[in-house]
Amino acid sequence: MTAVVSSSPATPRRVPAGRLAVYGVVLAIGLALAFAPFLFPDVRAQEVAARICIFIVLVASYDLLIGYTGIVSFAHTMFFGLGAYGTAIALKALGPSFTAIAVGGGAGLIATLVLALLIGLLSLRVKAIFFAMVTLAAASVMLVLASQLSDYTGGEDGITYQIPRAFAPAFKLFEDADGKVVRLFGVPLNGRIAAYYFVFLTSLALFLFMLRVVASPLGSVLKAIRENEMRAEAIGYKVVAYRTAVFCLAALIAALAGILRAVWLKYAGPDVVLSFHIMIDILLMVVIGGMGTMVGAVIGVVVMTLAQFYLKDLMQIGADATAGVPIVHQLLEPDRWLLWLGVIFILLVYFFPAGIAGTLMNKEWRR
């Protein structure tokens, strides 16, 4: 696996400038997310910020698989969806309460664990490529099941439901003497803020947990498996057991991210939690950010999310400018943004397999 650059810097005492820049950017993103409701008070920006938080967790957990262990799975959205649908169905059936979130989320997590164990033990013994195919097949069956079992999942339309009152915009977190909601920097401290910080803090905790995992001895074993499976096995590590364990761990974290998404969105449907497009998004984010670097996930998610908004605008300009030209016009249609992202993706895999974070972090000691 030459795709992922690893190994420690040649001169360990000097911290490379690129590495500092990456950490600086990630820290800035983290701070921006931490104060997002106050920095960007409008509703749409908050949606974007929450989406970024959740996707950072999702993408980082995927990076545990693809970047750290060298496992290619296409079932990550399946676990994301299991968490989200479990929560959604419970909230719909039991009414808006924290118990429902716990019950539904718990059920989703258990289903995730069982499925991940099954898939892992069944097919992680064989080649990476075989595993990728099995997970792809499993994920699409789950997608079909979600749209066919419409009595429970709402089919293609998905499920809408109420979330606990503490997270609703009408809920007052702090009241002043007049019974009005307290404002901080002009932003009302209502339930929506509570929901955002629930999402943000849980995401932060999960991300820090994953940072801890990759820095632990377990993380070193995973990298050893990625670099040379035979040698890892020969040293005495049970490769199948480690792979299955990390697959289950990543799946569980993805399911937790799914729970967050379900709580934040008040909606669960194939398009937002289960579809193949999300899987492609995750893949793009991991590769753009940089495989095998947890901070790469943060950068990848932010870059992709912003690109999704601005690339479309840019293409609209291009499409307007070429309105007369038949094929070019169609290719520049804003709906075709995925086409260009796909091209960028291919070029990235060719020329910068380490992604943005990986390339920058290795910049100094490469020369």
Binding-site ranges for another protein (CB under 8 A):
1-4, 66, 70, 72, 122-123, 125-130, 132-134, 136-138, 140-141, 144-145, 148-149, 276, 280, 283, 287, 327, 330-331, 333, 335-336, 338-339, 341-343, 345-346, 349-350, 353
Nearer to another protein, 107 or 132 (CB): 132
Shortest distance, position 30 Cβ to another protein, whole Å: 27
User: What is the closest distance, in whole angstroms, from the C-beta atom of residue 304 to another protein in the complex?
Assistant: 13
Report in angstroms the alpha-carbon separations of 89 from 101, 142, 262, 305: 9, 16, 10, 28
Going by the DSSP 8-state scheme, the letter that residue 228 receives in this structure is: -
User: What are the tokens at 260?
Assistant: 């967050």
Alpha helices per DSSP H over the chain: 17-34, 36-39, 43-63, 76-94, 98-123, 128-148, 150-153, 191-215, 217-227, 229-235, 239-265, 276-289, 294-321, 326-332, 337-351, 355-361, 363-366
Q: What tokens were used for 365? A: 């000691």
Nearer to another protein, 52 or 282 (CB): 282
Residue placing its CB nearer to another protein in the complex, 71 or 213 = 71
Q: Which is nearer to another protein, 130 or 309 (CB)?
A: 130
Contact between 285 and 12 (Cβ < 8 Å): no
CA distance 11 to 278: 40
Q: Cα–Cα distance between 302 and 289 in angstroms, integer?
A: 9
Supply the minimum distance, in Å, between the C-beta of residue 280 and another protein. 6
CB of 270 to another protein, least distance (A): 13
Closer to another protein at the Cβ: 20 or 122? 122
CB of 127 or CB of 231, closer to another protein: 127
What is the nearest approach in angstroms of another protein to the Cβ of residue 295?
20
Contacts for 157 with CB less than 8 Å, ≥ 6 apart: 269
Cross-strand pairs, 3: none
**Nearest-approach distance from CB 251 to another protein, in angstroms:** 17
> Judging by beta carbons within 10 Å of its beta carbon (0-12, 13-18, 19+), is residue 72 exposed, middle or buried?
middle
Closer to another protein at the Cβ: 151 or 178?
151
What is the residue-wise DSSP string for 36-66? HHHHS-SHHHHHHHHHHHHHHHHHHHHHIII
| 257: nearest Cα among 268, 241, 245 | 268
Closest distance to another protein from the beta carbon of 64 (Å): 15
Residue with smaller CB distance to another protein, 20 or 234: 234
In whole angstroms, the minimum distance from the beta carbon of 333 to another protein comes to 7
Min dist. Cβ of residue 1 to another protein (A): 6
Nearer to another protein, 25 or 349 (CB): 349
HSE-CB for 152 with a 13 A CA cutoff? 11
Q: Are 62 and 260 in contact (CB under 8 A)?
A: no
